[in-house]
Amino acid sequence: MIDVQSFAAGQWTNPGAGARNIASAITGEVIAQAGNDALDVQAMLSYARDIGGPALRKLTFHDRARMLKAVALHLMEHKQTLYDLSYDTGATLSDHKIDVDGGIGTMLVFASKGRREMPDGHAYLDGAPEQLGRDGQFLGRHICTPLLGVAVHINAFNFPVWGMLEKLAPTLLAGVPAIVKPATATCYVTEACVRLMLQSGLLPDGAVQLVSGGLGDMLDHLDCQDAVAFTGSADTALKLRSNPLLLERSVRFASEQDSLNASLLGPDATPGTPEFDLFIKEVSREMTAKAGQKCTAIRRIMVPEPQIDAVFDALSNRLAKTTIGDPRLETTRMGAVVSASQKRDVLEKAALIGAEAERVFGNPDDFTVEGADKNKGAFVPPMLFHCAAPDLAERVHDTEAFGPVSTLMPYRDLPHAVKLLNKGNGSLVASVITNDPDTAREITFGAAAFHGRLYFNNRQSMAEATGHGSPLPHMVHGGPGRAGGGEELGGIRGVMHYMQRTAVQGSPDILSAISQQWVPGSDTITDRAHPFTRTFTEVALGETFHSPAREVTLEDIETFAHFTGDTFYAHMDEEAAKANPFFPGRVAHGYLLLSFAAGLFVQPDPGPVLANTGLDNLRFMEHVVAGDSIKVRLTVKHKTPRNDEYGEVRWHVTLTNQNDQAVAEYELLTMNAL
């Protein structure tokens, strides 16, 4: 018997009054209890806001990204503990991999994105400065800073680890502490994971707390600096998000809820094509993985009318190979749903679907379970329904049986397919198996607005495709309407849910100071040695090098043309160049100017600049003709540490002519030794 503890205000606390029993999905026996009505939610909120938040915000995005990586690696080392506990949730080893390894992998992706795509500072910059005044002395830019409160994460039972980590990673990266409330049915797995994270000593105090069991009245104490991220059923979401106090205080509430996801077989994917086989494989995998308890599982299977029989035959053959039983057995392909009450719920929902569709595969009263007692464990067989008239049906489009249950339905043509796809009134994902780009386009423009993710797969992508049901940390997860109208993950987009975007306006100096990035128009530092002689650490934002001028001659242009082979007429033929609306006559190559610029700002001796790694945002603004002269201004715009040896310096480079007109502008990237 596990006493599932909560971690509240720095203390592990036992279950107490109001604790609920949790039974094994396999044996039906009570294996744990969780919940404590006496949990001091106010103390938890204060601990997060007053201790966790400030400690996290002291760190930069890069510090927090490194912390996430270390936590993820620690969990990886101990994942067997989580696997061992997870069997009692009904999950098989391959299900654990989706949950545990998937969660850890998500954390690692955020760790890496945090280092690569966010600054080593405290504000995330959204877009470039906007010039708001005529002379560039009054600018605006959008910056994102962490919310000053706490994120409350309420999770569904089906992914006790991934469900927590996919929310925790962007939250902690943002610099916001979290209180995690897993679903009670599987909270013993989440508790073990939180324990591992806390034992690692890698998280600052107050960064993560855990409520095992009920949340009490915590939501009533949130304010505009807090955020709720909910995952679960549409019914619970509606109840929680309508809390008048949350509404009154404009507390952010993101909802990821159930949806009637669909998979569609393209008209081109007839039997015998690789796409047909792929479709059967994807659908049966989605029906049976996690015993169908995936928010993204395929609930509606749409196939061209003439292929209904072929799909039914192939799918039922494959589903017939699904061995059901104790998930600890190697031979078991599908375990149990999470609990007896979940089994009841699935069967009730299946009965509703059955009023509109015929059950053509799987009988809940007649199936085999290996290694466990069918009457004690929460086992349900895969069930396939066939709905011959999907336009007239309602339940097959709005009833989620959260288990291995799907409905097969025919479509006539693509407009009809789009209509059926959208009849779910908003879903997390729709997949389309087709090798025809026109089909993919038509479906995208007809259905994208109703779906959070469109997953196309065919013979080209199938070896690498990640699966209809896998939300990836790089991609947005969430969907409109029935799916909750929320959005999670999507790389750095997911971090933004825990930050406030603020439009900051002011002079260039003010904006440079706030954004930790030199903004054109603000002060420069010119009294130091050549910046290429100074290390990453020494070189300061705004440090500027002014080169001497160099004349560009006709001979230079011709030499460059013949040397590179770029004898484009605008550089070589006066008359032809004049006829071109852009040029007054022969002009210097833009690349010649860039090369001369490099020659003007170079510091040739071995020094801290290790390599030139790229150039961004290049613009040629004014032509240069023979006899003009150019000079370069090079300013340190931004610095990003990369590792213990070197960091990236982003230089703002402007080439001007003899009249001080800007000829070209770009950002140069160098790696500089620390």
- Residue ranges that bind ligand NAP, judged by CB under 6 A: 154-158, 181-185, 214-215, 231-233, 236, 240, 256-258, 295, 400, 402, 428
- Give the residue among 640, 560, 632, 630 at the shortest CA–CA distance from 602: 632
Distance in angstroms (rounded) separating the CA atoms of residues 460 and 445: 22
Return d(Cα 381, Cα 336) in angstroms, integer.
Answer: 9
454 contacts 444 by C-beta, under 8 angstroms: yes
Whole-number Å distance between alpha carbons of 417 and 301: 11
Choose between 118 and 429: whose C-beta lies nearer to ligand NAP.
429
Which one is catalytic: 256, 275, 286, 487? Answer: 256
Closest distance to ligand NAP from the beta carbon of 347 (Å): 15
Radius of gyration of the chain (CA): 30
Shortest Å, Cβ 232 to ligand NAP: 2
In the complex with ligand NAP, the residue whose CB is nearer, 166 or 543, is 166
Bridge partner residues of 410 (DSSP)? 303
If the CB atoms of residues 230 and 385 are measured against ligand NAP, the closer one turns out to be: 230
Kind and range of the H or E element at 582? Answer: none
User: DSSP letters along 231-280, please?
Assistant: EE-HHHHHHHHT-HHHHHTT-EEEEEE----EEEE-TT--TTSHHHHHHH
Instruction: Please tell me the distance from the alpha carbon of residue 244 to that of residue 260, in angstroms, as a whole number.
Output: 29
Q: Closest CB to ligand NAP among 139 and 346?
A: 346
Helix, strand or coil for residue 201? coil
Could you tell me the end-to-end alpha-carbon distance of the chain, in angstroms, rounded to an integer?
A: 54
Nearer to ligand NAP, 256 or 326 (CB): 256
CB 577 within 8 A of CB 568: no
Q: CB count, 10 Å around CB of 241?
A: 20
Return the structure tokens found at 331: 């031979």
Distance in Å, CB of 455 to ligand NAP, minimum: 15
The neighbour count for residue 188, using CB atoms within 10 Å, is 24
From the candidates 144, 187, 193, 295, which is the catalytic residue?
A: 295
Question: CB of 648: closest distance to ligand NAP in angstroms?
Answer: 36
Shortest gap between Cβ of 219 and ligand NAP (angstroms)?
Answer: 7
In whole angstroms, how far apart are CA 365 and each of 195, 292, 368, 381?
Answer: 41, 18, 10, 9
CA distances from 456 to 370, 466, 489 (A): 36, 11, 20
Judged by beta carbon, residue 208 or residue 653, the one nearer ligand NAP is 208
Q: Which is nearer to ligand NAP, 294 or 652 (CB)?
A: 294
| Sign of the CA dihedral with 156 first, then 162, 166, and 172 last | positive
CA separation for the pair 595, 583 (Å, rounded):
21
Nearer to ligand NAP, 263 or 435 (CB): 263
What span, in angstroms and rounded, lies between the C-alpha atoms of 552 and 529? 27
Residue type, 439: T
Q: Choose among 218, 189, 198: nearest CA to 34.
A: 189
- Please say if 256 is a catalytic residue: yes
What lies within 8 Å, CB to CB, of 190 at 6+ separation is 155, 160, 161, 163, 164, 180, 182, 210, 212
Entry field: residues in the chain: 674
Q: Which helix (H) or strand (E) holds 600?
A: helix 590-601
In the complex, residue closest to ligand NAP by CB:
232
Residue 155 or 515 with smaller CB distance to ligand NAP: 155
- Residue placing its CB nearer to ligand NAP in the complex, 339 or 458: 339
Q: Residues with catalytic annotation?
A: 256, 295
